[in-house]
C-alpha cells in the first residue's frame, strides 16, 4: 500500500488544480467572483428583453411576453437590487426581489430576470440550464400549438372542422392542439345572438360572462364535436374556455364532452385577467366530471397554487414561466402538484424565442406529470434572424429535441439584433 502522507495528499491536490482550466481554477479559488454589473431591458419587436451583464464577460438573457411592451420600467425597478450580486446564486438574488413582485405585470419582470440569471449560471458552470434544475429526464419535449394559429372565416361547426384540418397538417406535426371556445373566444359568442343571458361588453378581452342559453351551449358543443371528428384519436384536443362560465354551465358542458376524451378544459371559472385561484369553485367543477380541468396561467408564485393543489381543485395546472416567478419556481410547483396527482401543462403562447429556450430546459427537467408546453413563436418573423442556437427545424412531429449547450443555449446575433433596436435602446448590447 502506498505511503499516503499529508504532504503527498497536498501535492496531489496541487497537481489536479494545475490540470484544471484557468477559468475553473479561478472559480474554485475565488468562489462568488462573478458579479452583476448591469441590468438592461430593451423592447425588441414587442418583447421586453432582459440582459444581465457581468464582470466576467458573460451575459444572460430573459424575455417577457410580447403582450407587455410596457414592462421596461418595471424590469429596471429591480436594477439596484441586483448590482454587485453573484448571478450564479440564483435563489439568493431572487430573495431580494421576489417579494416585490405580484401578479401580472410585476411578476413578469421578476420572471424574466430569473430566466436570465439561470442563463448566466449555466454559462458560468459550462452546463445547460436543465442540469442546474436537477438534470433532464426526457431527451425531447412535447409542445402544443400555442402561437401557431390559422384565421377562421366564420364561427360555425364547419369553420372549426376546417381549421382543425389545417392545424392537423401544420409543419410542426402537433400531437396536441388547443382551441379557444366559449367566453375565451368572443367572436364565437358574439356570432350567435342570444348565446347567453346578457349583452356583450366593451372593454378588455374576455370581459363577458354569464349564464349560457340552451342555444349557445348547444352551439359550442357542436363546434367541439366537429373538431374531434377531424382529429379523431390521432391528435389530442384541449379547449381554452374562459373565464366567464357559471359553475352549472361548466359542469353541463364538461359532462357533454366526456365521450370525446378532451385533454383538458382551461380557465372555465377564473384564469385570464383573474389572478386569484378560486379553488373551492374549481373543485366543484372538477369533482363533477371526468374531463380534466385546467387553470393557472395568471398566478404568481407557488404560494398562490397552494389551495388549487392541496384541495385537488383542478386536474392540470398551467403556470407561465414568464409570469409565475421563473423556471425554477414552476419546477417547484410541478413537483408539489405531482405529489398530489395533478398534471402540468405550462402556458406560454407569447413567451418569445428566449422564452421557448427556457421552456425546453424546464420541460426536460420536470417530473412525469408533464404533458406539454404552449409553443411560442418569434414575432415579428425577423426574430429568427437575430437569435442563434435554435434547432432547424425547431419542432419535429410535435416534439423539440433538448440541446446541450451551456446556459439556455441560445444567444443573439448581435450585429443583426442591433439593427432592430430603437434609438432609446441602442446601448443594450454595448
Average pLDDT over residues 39-56: 97
Q: What is the mean pLDDT of the chain?
A: 92
CATH of the domain spanning 36-127: 3.30.390.10
Asked if residues 302 and 332 have their Cβ atoms less than 8 Å apart, the reply is yes
Q: What is the pLDDT of residue 88?
A: 98
Residue 6 has pLDDT above 60, yes or no: no
pLDDT for position 274: 84
Give a three-class secondary structure readout of 43-70: EECCEEEEEEEECCCCEEEEECCCCCCC
Which pLDDT tens digit goes with each residue over 141-192? Answer: 999 999 999 999 999 999 999 999 999 999 999 999 999 999 999 999 989 8
Q: What is the per-residue pLDDT for 390?
A: 98
Q: Any residues with CB less than 8 A from the CB of 301 and at least 6 apart, and which? A: 98, 101, 107, 324, 325, 329
pLDDT band of residue 29 (cuts 50, 70, 90) is: very low
Nearest to 125, CA basis, from 85, 90, 84, 78: 90
- Where do you find CATH 3.30.390.10 in the chain? 36-127
Q: Residue 32: which pLDDT band, with cuts at 50, 70 and 90? A: low
| pTM higher than the cut 0.75 | yes
First and final C-alpha spacing in the chain: 59
Residue 355 has pLDDT above 90, yes or no: yes
| Strand partners of residue 370 | 344
pLDDT at 14: 39
Residue 351 CB neighbour total at 10 angstroms: 32
Task: Please provide the DSSP assignment of 369-425 as one string.
Answer: TB--EE----SSTTHHHHEE---SSS-BTTEEEPP-SSBTS-EE-HHHHHTT--GGG
The neighbour count for residue 400, using CB atoms within 10 Å, is: 24
19 — pLDDT class (breaks 50, 70, 90)? very low
What's the CATH superfamily of 132-407?
A: Enolase-like C-terminal domain (3.20.20.120)
| 4 band by pLDDT with thresholds 50, 70 and 90 | very low
Residue 11's pLDDT is 41
CA 361 to chain centre: 11
Q: Which carries the bigger pLDDT value, residue 217 or residue 9?
A: 217
Partners of residue 399 on adjacent β-strands = 142, 396
Contact criterion met (CB below 8 Å) for 69 and 51: no
Closest alpha carbon to 64 in 46, 78, 77: 46
Q: Determine which of 9-18, 144-153, 236-245 has the lowest per-residue pLDDT on average.
A: 9-18
Mean pLDDT confidence for 353-376: 98
pLDDT grade for 28, boundaries at 50, 70 and 90: very low
**Domain span(s) for CATH 3.20.20.120 in the chain:** 132-407
Q: What pLDDT, on a 0 to 100 scale, did the predictor assign at position 284?
A: 98
| Strands in 208-357 per DSSP E | 236-240, 265-266, 293-295, 316-317, 343-344
pLDDT of residue 409: 98
Amino acid at each position: 500500500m502506498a505511503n499516503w502522507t499529508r504532504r503527498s495528499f497536498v501535492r496531489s491536490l496541487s497537481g489536479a488544480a494545475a490540470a484544471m482550466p484557468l477559468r475553473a481554477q479561478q472559480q474554485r479559488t475565488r468562489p462568488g467572483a462573478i458579479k452583476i454589473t448591469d441590468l438592461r431591458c430593451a423592447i425588441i419587436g414587442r418583447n421586453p428583453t432582459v440582459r444581465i451583464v457581468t464582470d466576467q464577460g458573460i451575459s444572460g438573457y430573459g424575455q417577457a411576453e410580447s403582450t407587455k411592451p410596457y414592462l421596461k420600467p418595471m424590469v429596471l425597478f429591480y436594477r439596484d437590487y441586483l448590482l454587485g450580486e453573484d448571478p450564479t446564486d440564483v435563489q439568493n438574488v431572487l430573495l431580494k426581489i421576489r417579494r416585490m413582485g405580484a401578479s401580472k405585470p410585476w411578476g413578469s419582470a421578476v420572471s424574466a430576470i430569473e430566466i436570465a440569471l439561470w442563463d448566466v449560471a449555466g454559462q458560468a458552470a459550462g452546463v445547460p440550464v436543465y442540469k442546474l434544475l436537477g438534470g433532464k429526464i426526457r431527451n425531447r419535449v412535447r409542445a402544443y400549438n400555442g402561437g401557431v394559429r390559422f384565421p377562421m372565416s366564420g364561427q360555425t361547426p364547419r369553420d372549426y372542422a376546417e381549421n382543425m384540418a389545417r392545424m392537423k397538417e401544420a409543419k410542426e406535426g402537433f400531437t396536441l392542439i388547443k382551441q379557444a371556445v366559449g367566453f375565451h373566444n368572443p367572436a364565437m359568442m358574439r356570432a350567435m345572438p342570444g348565446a347567453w343571458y346578457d349583452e356583450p361588453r366593451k372593454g378588455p378581452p374576455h370581459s363577458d360572462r354569464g349564464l349560457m342559453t340552451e342555444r349557445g351551449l348547444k352551439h359550442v358543443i357542436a363546434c367541439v364535436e366537429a373538431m374531434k371528428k377531424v382529429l379523431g384519436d390521432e391528435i389530442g384536443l384541449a379547449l381554452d374556455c374562459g373565464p366567464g362560465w357559471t359553475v352549472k354551465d361548466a359542469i353541463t358542458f364538461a359532462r357533454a364532452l366526456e365521450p370525446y376524451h378532451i385533454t383538458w378544459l382551461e380557465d372555465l371559472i377564473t384564469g385570464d385577467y383573474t389572478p386569484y385561484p378560486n379553488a373551492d369553485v374549481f373543485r366543484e367543477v372538477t369533482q363533477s366530471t371526468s374531463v380534466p380541468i385546467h387553470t393557472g396561467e395568471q398566478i404568481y408564485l407557488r404560494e398562490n397554487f397552494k389551495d388549487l393543489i392541496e384541495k385537488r381543485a383542478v386536474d392540470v395546472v398551467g403556470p407561465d414561466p414568464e409570469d409565475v416567478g421563473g423556471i425554477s419556481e414552476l419546477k417547484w410547483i410541478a413537483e408539489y402538484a405531482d405529489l398530489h396527482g395533478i398534471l402540468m401543462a405550462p402556458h406560454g403562447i407569447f413567451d418569445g424565442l428566449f422564452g421557448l429556450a427556457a421552456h425546453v430546459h424546464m420541460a426536460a427537467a420536470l417530473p412525469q406529470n408533464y404533458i406539454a408546453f404552449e409553443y411560442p413563436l418569434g414575432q415579428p418573423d425577423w426574430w429568427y434572424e437575430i437569435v442563434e442556437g435554435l434547432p432547424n427545424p425547431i419542432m419535429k412531429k410535435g416534439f423539440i429535441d433538448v440541446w446541450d449547450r451551456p446556459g439556455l443555449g441560445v444567444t443573439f446575433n448581435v450585429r443583426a439584433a442591433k439593427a432592430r433596436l430603437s434609438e432609446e435602446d441602442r446601448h443594450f448590447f454595448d
